[in-house]
Every structure is written in structure tokens, then in C-alpha cells.
Amino acid sequence: MASPNHPPAAATDAVLVKSVEMPKEAQKVEELDFNKFKGRPITAEDLYNGMKHMGFQATSVGEAIRIINDMRAWRDPETGEKTTIFLGYTSNMISSGLRGIFRWLVEHKHVSAIVSTAGGIEEDFIKCLGDTYLSSFSANGADLRKKGLNRIGNLVVPNDNYCAFEDWVVPILDKMLEEQEASKGTENEINWTPSKVIHRLGKEINDARSVYYWAYKNDIPVFCPALTDGSLGDMLYFHTFKTSPQQLKIDIVEDIRRINTMAVRAKRAGMIILGGGVIKHHIANACLMRNGAESAVYINTAQEFDGSDAGARPEEAISWGKIKLDGDHVKVYVEATTCFPLIVANTFAKDA
């Protein structure tokens, strides 16, 4: 019988379980102390160093920074070649202010190739023709529709911007079709692909605010396997009625060969993927052709319990051979506009 002056032994044994001794290399949780910065401005590097051992997603952000810096620093010992870095992002990222960061990365040749969705292509050009505005996630859809405003999360895009896009892009499609037809049967027969279309549009926009203007200038390929899934698809659809029976042909097979060949020939491959869906799988599947990328950073809020590729963690990609067995990887469960500026500030822009 337990003594009235002592707790039950079973309770004591359950609560006061003896711990094993922690290994010497175990990392202690660290706290961000703003007192350390008294008298001077706080830098992005200060925040990174203060957050990387904080725990939870702060530590995941710190891991992303470490992995990307490793991608940047690596050189092939024989040839001096750098890591081939594939950057992927969904269309909403271009609609947001992250577009400026993507543009800067491409302008300064920090990435080797881009994969995006149709919206991630057209919204870049549309922003050169008209502005996107802040709104609210709870803005009434019916009211916006009556006003000709299209909502993307808590942003709105006036529908006039898409009309301006049509006025700009259709004459270019006309010219591309003319060049395609004129080249038939010649040695230089034109075979348009999504990446060639984007390259051409980047040239035609001739606007330094555009991501794809800089991709054109720096000859960085931009892949979009779902090019028709957006306003560009609408324009291509309308264009078929205008030009019938002639039709612009866009070959996706040449592009899959091109991106897969880039991955196969890479001395080392790194993936930085913001969001999920087709952009995430397209990059990962290209890296499968080389038995996996050496480095991978996923940034998205999708969960894995539904079996979707969008929510799949890096360990699942390892099982498919999309990341190497000993590959360095992290998934950051944070909405990308919240963390990617801090990540870039501590990686690519650190020495800017």
C-alpha cells in the first residue's frame, strides 16, 4: 500500500523516466536574442543564424539555405563545372511579388533551367502590360466577376490585362505560324516547342521587368509541359479559328528530350521547387534519368496523406530514383512568399 506521504510508485516511475545521455554532437535548441544586435541593424544573415537551430520550420528554412549554398559552392574537380540547378514554381508565385526574385535569379544566371505552368509564363508578360493589385481572400467572387476582376488568392488582376495580352500575343503567333509554314521542306524547318515559344515571347516583350526577357537574353531554357493550360491556351485556341486550315504546331516531345538530356549530362543536379503539381514532378522526373538529383529543396504546404505528388516528401522521391540515395534534401512546410526572400538573401544574393 502506498504511503499517504508519497506518490504512487507507478506514477513516479511513469513520470520520472531516466533519460539516456545525449550524444556530444547533439544540437541544442537555440533562441534568437535581439539584445545581441543592440546598436546595429539586423541583417538577413543574422535572422538565418538565429533561426536555424530554433526548431520546427525555422530549422527547415535553415536547412534549405545550407543545401542551396552547397549547390552553389560545388565544382566538378576535373572540369570545374557547377551544379545544374533546376528552379520550379507555380503560376501564383509569378502573380505575387516573388516574380522580382525569380527575375533577379535569371538576370544574374543563378539557375540553369526553369519549369513553370502556363500561368507562370503568361502572368509574367501580362505584368509588363498591366498591374496586379492586392485584394482579400474573402473578396466576393460574384462582385468581382461583375467588375471584370479576376482573383488569385488575395490578389486581383483586371480582365483588361488579359485583353491587352491578347492584343500583344496574337500578332506574334501570326508571325510564328508564318515562319513555320515558310520553313516547311527546308533544311531549317521550324519545330516550335513550349521552350522555343517562351524564348520567342521573351525576346518580343523586350522589357527588363520580365523573367523571360532575361531567360531569352541569358539563353536559360524555360520548360512548360502544360503550356495550353491558361490564357496562352485560350489564345492558341482562338488562333486556330483565325488561321484555319493552317495551325501553329507545338511539339512537347522535343522539350522532354531537352530537359531530360540536361539532367543526364549534369555533373551534379540540384532542385529548388516552390509549389507542387506538374512543375514538381517534371523536374524530379528529369532527374530520375540520371538516377536522382544530389540536392533537393521543396517549399510547399501540401500534405502527404492523400498520396499526391504535390505533398510527397523527398523520401518518396528517393524511392523512385528522383533524388539519390544519399542526396541532401529538405521539405519546408511554409508558403513560399513567406520564406523564399529570406532563403535567397542568404544564398544567391548573399554576395550581391
**201-216: per-residue pLDDT in tens?**
999 999 999 999 999 9
Does 249 have pLDDT greater than 90?
Answer: yes
What pLDDT was estimated at residue 125? 98
Going by C-alpha positions, the residue among 158, 124, 152, 126 that lies closest to residue 139 is: 152
Q: What is the pTM of this model?
A: 0.96
- Whether 322 sits among the annotated catalytic residues: the reply is yes
CA–CA distance, 16 with 331 (Å, rounded to integer): 35
Going by C-alpha positions, the residue among 117, 58, 129 that lies closest to residue 93 is: 117
Does 97 have pLDDT greater than 70?
Answer: yes
Question: Which residue carries 467588375 as its cell?
Answer: 147
Asked if 261 contacts 254 with a C-beta cutoff of 8 angstroms, the reply is no
What pLDDT was estimated at residue 2? 61
What confidence tier does 1 reach under pLDDT thresholds 50, 70, 90? low
- How much is the average pLDDT of 10-21? 93
Tell me the C-alpha to C-alpha distance, in Å, between residue 44 and each of 41, 47, 70, 346. 10, 5, 18, 7
CA–CA distance, 235 with 162 (Å, rounded to integer): 10
Q: Which is the catalytic residue, given 127, 196, 322, 324?
A: 322
> Domains along the chain?
58-83+266-352 (no CATH), 116-250 (3.40.910.10)
List of residues 6+ apart from 125 with CB closer than 8 A: 165, 168, 169, 201, 205, 210, 212
Instruction: Please report which helix (H) or strand (E) contains residue 253, including its range.
Output: helix 252-265
